[in-house]
Structure 1
Amino acid sequence: MASALKKIGFLFSLFVPSGVDVFKQWRKDRAASSAEIVGLLKANRDLANRHQGERCFILGNGPSAKKLDLSKLKGETVFSVSNGYLFPGYGEFSPRYHCVPQITYGLMTEEDTVRWFNEMHEGLGNAELFLSSNEAALVRNQHLFPGRNVRYLSLSGSFDEWPDEDLVDISKAVPAVYSVPVMVLMIALYMGFKEIILLGVDHDQFLTSRYDYAFDLKIQKGKDITLNKDGSSSFSRYEEFRGLFRLWHQYRSIDKIARKNGVKIFNSTPGGALDEFPRKDFNEWFAVK
């Protein structure tokens, strides 16, 4: 995104008097102020230990989720992510929370994002929404998500700077994430959940050579700059493996924090490549004792 913004600024400088100043003001008008972000983050303090001692399910969008009877999630506390509102039967198990990480602009324009957020709002039911603070000004200026409780995370920095034993405090800046389940795990830990179960978190595109979803995309179809038109990765193996190392490192860091705070994270994804958490069959969570 930064390189694209620099190119726009250069064009302004060629065709508009004082073009760079105009561009800087354009960018400033679309960014939430530091004071506004601090206020938005402070609002998250009432989430601390909201679900003390409970369990939750984090539903990723990987194709493995099609193998699960998601109707069993009815009555459970569920986090959905990104385009997850497109799951067939979404309204039946009605996730309580929905999370979207920082948006990478490129093929995905600001206008596309507005359309996507409107589509999301229509599909989310009553879910409470978490976004990156990068989108706070856009939501405010475009009057998006009317009547919905929208919260923000300031995603910046690295887990290398975070002590292993400390829960990530989402009322302050938190590490940027390489995949949305990491964002959700930080939120779930802050909320006090003691059992966190991952579903549909496949991360196996380096094995399948494709990035697929459990449903058909709508607004976001063809907007991912990391994918070719056929769904294959646009990255070289070198770039892909560097990204996977960073992602796995984030999961390992989260697991260390969870363990030191008495929280258990399980992976109940049927298949997939993520091996940082113990496995437990999805159906076992609903077995009658």
Structure 2
Amino acid sequence: MNYRIKIKNIFKDIFRPIWHVKLNFTINRSCYNKFNQGELIKYKNKHNGERCFIIGNGPSLSIADLEKLKNEHTFAANSIYVLYDKTDWRTSYYFCQDSTVLRNNIEDIKKKITSTKFIKPTGYSQDIDDNAICFNVDYNNYKKRISPEFSEEITDNVKDGYTVTYSMIQFACYMGFKEIYLLGVDFNYIMKDNKIDEASYPDKRMGVKAGGNPDLEYNLLAYQVAKRHADDQGIKIFNATRGGILEVFKRADLDDVLGAKRKNDSI
């Protein structure tokens, strides 16, 4: 029995690198073909000077707040569609880059997300959404445990911050948004049995097909990099989350932000 296991492990060691090369080739073909690159380029400065809201799936996120964002540009990710049966709000841009999340939710993503979708492909044919725009992620800094970079050209890739929120911030800057508001980014998780507990989400259904566990230490590095980049480029990032523990960005009250726009529009 031990002999068979040893032989099996030898074959794994031999063929695993070959398989990863194949997967990477497929991913690159999806991301860097002429059509997909053209689709990404369309979003360069598309929203120059405008504002947007990046939605996290933290427990502070409320349906009432999503309702208020119906006429705003919004970014959301992963299992956000679980909330669609409670609200008429729909995100402007949807993101998924966690291979586990994509694999577990691909059919729902295909059916329930009708807005623009940006997806990091897994390389497996069963995870493909023909209606999505593909983007690649550079994981090198995370693997080396050094501070992430910030991508200004998402046609090349986005830099990994071990959170899709960081990728959405990079996309928002690429699209030309000058005011970015985070909402539902609690930066806090309840762990149970070494997994994220369903209480860490605004709806427990989100925890059923969730991805891997968080790395808040690296997330913090990413948010700090995002703030420095934004400051250098004259982009303002605010945290409009109701509570939470993320203090990298200046806090903003969502009602005040939305109320100020309504007041200006009425003048």
TM range (shorter): 0.7 to 0.9
Q: Deviations over 1:10-45 (max 9, x none)?
A: 989725996765555544444434752433773422
1:198: which partner in 2? 182
Q: Distance in 2 between matches of 1:98 and 1:114?
A: 16
Structure 1 residue runs of 5 or longer lacking an equivalent are 1-9, 227-239
1:42: which partner in 2? 37
1:119 maps to 2:108:
yes
Tell me the TM-score normalised to structure 1 length.
Answer: 0.73
1:3: which partner in 2? none
Q: What SS does the corresponding residue of 1:181 show, helix, strand or coil?
A: helix
Q: What SS does the corresponding residue of 2:94 show, helix, strand or coil?
A: strand
Residue from 115, 131, 135 that aligns with 2:119? 131
Question: Per the alignment, do residues 249 and 200 of structure 1 end up closer, same or farther by CA in structure 2, a change over 3 Å counting?
Answer: same
Residue from 79, 92, 99 that aligns with 2:95? 99
Is the contact made by 2:76 and 2:91 (CA closer than 8 Å) also made in structure 1? yes
2:203: which partner in 1? 215
Q: Distance in 2 between matches of 1:252 and 1:143?
A: 32
Question: Per the alignment, do residues 58 and 19 of structure 1 end up closer, same or farther by CA in structure 2, a change over 3 Å counting?
Answer: closer
Once the two structures are superposed, the pairs formed by residues 43-58 of structure 1 within 5 Å of their partners are 43=38, 44-58=40-54
AA aligned to 1:282 is L
Q: Distance in 1 between matches of 2:95 and 2:233?
A: 23
1:245 maps to 2:217:
yes
Shift of 1:118: 0.8
Identical-pair percentage: 24
1:14: which partner in 2? 7
Q: Distance in 2 between matches of 1:32 and 1:143?
A: 15
Is the contact made by 1:65 and 1:199 (CA closer than 8 Å) also made in structure 2? yes
Q: Deviations over 1:151-197 (max 9, x none)?
A: 213232337474xxx76221113321221111100110111001111
Is the contact made by 1:48 and 1:192 (CA closer than 8 Å) also made in structure 2? yes
2:133: which partner in 1? 150
Shift of 1:279: 1.1
Greater percentage in strand? 2
* Greater displacement, 169-178 / 14-23: 14-23
Q: Distance in 2 between matches of 1:78 and 1:90?
A: 17
Is the contact made by 1:268 and 1:279 (CA closer than 8 Å) also made in structure 2? yes
Q: Distance in 2 between matches of 1:214 and 1:95?
A: 16
Question: Per the alignment, do residues 11 and 248 of structure 1 end up closer, same or farther by CA in structure 2, a change over 3 Å counting?
Answer: farther
Q: Distance in 2 between matches of 1:81 and 1:35?
A: 22
Q: Distance in 1 between matches of 2:153 and 2:136?
A: 10
1:233: which partner in 2? none
Is the contact made by 1:13 and 1:19 (CA closer than 8 Å) also made in structure 2? no
Shift of 1:130: 1.7
Q: Distance in 1 between matches of 2:163 and 2:148?
A: 18
Q: Distance in 1 between matches of 2:4 and 2:247?
A: 47
* Greater displacement, 206-215 / 151-160: 206-215
Q: What SS does the corresponding residue of 2:168 show, helix, strand or coil?
A: helix
1:179 maps to 2:168:
no
Q: Distance in 2 between matches of 1:79 and 1:15?
A: 44
Q: Distance in 2 between matches of 1:82 and 1:157?
A: 23
1:262 maps to 2:234:
yes
AA aligned to 1:57 is F
Shift of 1:217: 2.3
